[in-house]
Structure 1
């Protein structure tokens, strides 16, 4: 599927680079990343269609890690502390009501409720996340997508934290949010997204399957302004998370803090080009660093069905260099799904043997998974990390 620009709707945007991804539950696809020749915004194109992406979210997307027993990470707790204070400072007080679109496991809304917000509700497409939100945090969520949800009440604050980058028509969702604020004296929206900063600031896998839109400060402010909001507070972080993030609090009342916005065509094309050359070297280097141990293995398994495995296969010579015995994951949602030549199996259905090796196929959760696999090491199975990142920055 070839997309139009998500911000200005320009058609026939050309990809800067494409790769073939072995997607879970789907046939291998060409996935590319393109720069709009009109406004300079970067999006994923070509990509899969909306229904295929919804299938992924409904059956594959799991944003809680079993290694934490469904509890939030220290980084997420820290970020929510800051987010609540940032919004409170920008508005002058806590809002009376909060609607979160893309509410994940409900933790964010539980924190706003505990801080004193009277009424909270979530919109969430992930089946597992809706269940966790109710069971763990007693947060009610409407099981729907950002594109299709319906609510019958108004909310003073709408949250979209790490949501816009996932949407096929983010401007339509922002317009829908603005319409929900029509009945309020003043409404607010808080948007947080990964920040497409300098290529050297971006983590491995930054241009990923689930993220189909990419934001700079320039085009994020433009997107909110064109939807009828006026930014009142902006915050950027570069080192505290695995990759840069930007948050914007905006109001339905005109503020006049920002002037016109300038297209970033050449700048963003250079970021994509530089990043791509750096990324291929990085991934192959990670594989090369564990190749000597893989050469000694009796059997090799990948631990983690999903997008990281797509990227590992697309950016290295893994399949040309090694025979991969199988794929496993702790999430029952993934058991039985095909990814490439493998069918994902439950870990306890595999007869693990001394001499087996597991490659942990995750970036953000790599250390948590490694720590949780001590039981495999006790059986004589080698467990290998590719990235060795500081996961205290991960959600």
Structure 2
């Protein structure tokens, strides 16, 4: 499916690169990344349809890690500490009500409730996450997409942390948020997204399947201003998370703090091209370093049905060099789903043999997964990390 620009609505998009992706639960798809010749915003196009993406979220999306027993990571706790104080400082006090779109497992809203927000409500398309929010934190959520949900309530604060980059029509959703706050003397919105910064500061897999929009500081400000929100506070981090992030607190009251937007076409085009060259070289180098071990193994299993496995296959010659016996994951949501030529099975369903090897494709959760697989190493199964980093920056 070809898209139009998510910021200015322009249809003149230039495709910068395209791959065939082996997506979990879906057929082979041509996924590309394009730039708007008008405003210079970068988005995923061609991409899958909205219904296909919703199928992915409802059946595949998992927000907790078995190694944490459904508890938030240390970085998630840290980020919420900052977000609450950041909003409190920008507003003057915490609002009395908050709506979070993309509420995941409910942890964020539980923290705002603990901090004194008296009415909280989530919107979340993943059924498993809605159940977790209720079970873990007693947080109520509307089980629907950001595009389709409705509410008759008014909320002083709307929270969208790492949501806008996922939406097919983010401007429409921001307009919906603005409409929810129309009756108020002043409303606030807090948005946080990955920041499309210098290519050298971006992590492997930055251009991912789930992220279909890419924000710079300039086009994020433009997206808010165009929907009636006025930035009042901004925070950027480059080293504390997997990828650079930007958070913006904006008000429904007119402000005069921002400069006029100008096209970013030339700069963003160069950034994408440089990053893409580095990305392909990175994945292949990491695979080459462990290729001899994989080729000597009796059987090779990929650990993790999902996007990182998809990127591993798309960006390397793995399938040409190694016979992959199967695919496994601890998430029940993924069992039985087909990804490429494999069906994901529970680890317990595999007849493990000494000399087998497991390749962990995940970047964000690699260390946690590796630590949780000691039981396989006890069986003389080699557990291999592709990226081999002690990652403390996961969300």
TM-score of the superposition, structure 1-length normalised? 0.99
Which consecutive residues of structure 2, in runs of 5 or more, have no partner in the other structure? none
CA–CA distance in 2 between the matches of 1:206 and 1:63?
A: 18
Map 1:313-328 to 2 at 5 A: 313-328=313-328
What secondary structure is seen at the aligned counterpart in 2 of 1:2? coil
**Contact 1:2 1:12 survives alignment (8 Å):** no
CA–CA distance in 1 between the matches of 2:257 and 2:160?
A: 22
| Residue 353 of structure 2: aligned partner | 353
CA–CA distance in 2 between the matches of 1:389 and 1:77?
A: 21
| Residue 244 of structure 1: aligned partner | 244
What secondary structure is seen at the aligned counterpart in 2 of 1:295? helix
| Residue 22 of structure 1: aligned partner | 22
| Residue 202 of structure 1: aligned partner | 202
Following TM superposition, by how much is the alpha carbon of 1:209 offset from its aligned partner in structure 2, in angstroms?
Answer: 0.2
CA–CA distance in 1 between the matches of 2:70 and 2:15?
A: 38
Map 1:44-83 to 2 at 5 A: 44-83=44-83
**Contact 1:193 1:215 survives alignment (8 Å):** yes
**Contact 1:3 1:12 survives alignment (8 Å):** no
* CA offsets 1:97-138 (integer angstroms, 9 cap, x no match): 000000001000000000111010100001111111110111
Map 1:165-244 to 2 at 5 A: 165-244=165-244
What CA RMSD, in Å, does the superposition of the two structures yield over aligned residues?
0.6
CA–CA distance in 2 between the matches of 1:207 and 1:368?
A: 23
What secondary structure is seen at the aligned counterpart in 2 of 1:327? strand
* CA offsets 1:140-159 (integer angstroms, 9 cap, x no match): 11100000001121000000
Following TM superposition, by how much is the alpha carbon of 1:389 offset from its aligned partner in structure 2, in angstroms?
Answer: 2.4
| Residue 265 of structure 1: aligned partner | 265
CA–CA distance in 2 between the matches of 1:35 and 1:236?
A: 23
CA–CA distance in 2 between the matches of 1:95 and 1:283?
A: 45
Q: Which runs of 4+ in 1 moved over 4 A?
A: none
What secondary structure is seen at the aligned counterpart in 1 of 2:123? strand
**Contact 1:101 1:146 survives alignment (8 Å):** yes
CA–CA distance in 2 between the matches of 1:71 and 1:25?
A: 27
| Residue 41 of structure 2: aligned partner | 41
Following TM superposition, by how much is the alpha carbon of 1:200 offset from its aligned partner in structure 2, in angstroms?
Answer: 0.5
* CA offsets 1:332-389 (integer angstroms, 9 cap, x no match): 1111111000000011111111111000120000000000000111111000001122
TM-score of the superposition, structure 2-length normalised? 0.99
CA–CA distance in 1 between the matches of 2:9 and 2:242?
A: 30
* CA offsets 1:295-332 (integer angstroms, 9 cap, x no match): 22000000000110110000000000000000000111
What secondary structure is seen at the aligned counterpart in 2 of 1:120? strand
| Residue 366 of structure 2: aligned partner | 366
Following TM superposition, by how much is the alpha carbon of 1:262 offset from its aligned partner in structure 2, in angstroms?
Answer: 1.2
**Contact 1:155 1:181 survives alignment (8 Å):** yes
Structure 1 residue 85 corresponds to structure 2 residue 85: yes
CA–CA distance in 1 between the matches of 2:164 and 2:389?
A: 26
